Amino acid sequence: MLEGVILIINNMNKVMEPLMQFSEWLPKILSVKVLFKKMDEVLINQDNYIETLDMDTFKESIEFNNVSFSYEGTEVFKDISLSIKKGGIKRICNGST
């Protein structure tokens, strides 16, 4: 009987470690779900946004040169240059840190 108790105690980490990892991953999983829900809402309602209206001067492509962007004090990108052909890129996503 004592050997069985010792065996169970010695192997508890095999049960507890995956549970602890899951508890660390759960907030990340839930935060991604919210992100995808917001992206779906934006895409469904895209015709309502002023910035998606046709622009007479946007015939073939649009270029960004040496652009930097920060959000709530966090630098998202710095000095990027980018050329986008009309109808080419639908969205740009990056993982959060």
pLDDT of 47 above 70: no
> What is the model's pLDDT at position 66?
92
Average per-residue pLDDT for the chain: 78
- Average pLDDT on 17-21 reads 88
- C-alpha angle 37-71-56 in degrees, rounded to nearest 5: 75
The Cα 56–Cα 72 span in angstroms is 33
Q: Sketch the domain layout of the chain as residue ranges.
A: 1-51, 54-88
Question: Going by DSSP bridges, is the β-strand pair 74-85/61-71 parallel, antiparallel, or unpaired?
Answer: antiparallel
pLDDT in tens, 50-95: 666 666 677 788 888 999 988 888 888 889 898 888 777 666 666 6
Q: Find the DSSP H helices in the chain.
A: 2-10, 12-44
Q: Is the dihedral of CA 71, 73, 76, 79 positive or negative?
A: positive
In whole angstroms, give the CA distance from residue 72 to residue 48.
25
Tokens of 19: 């549970």
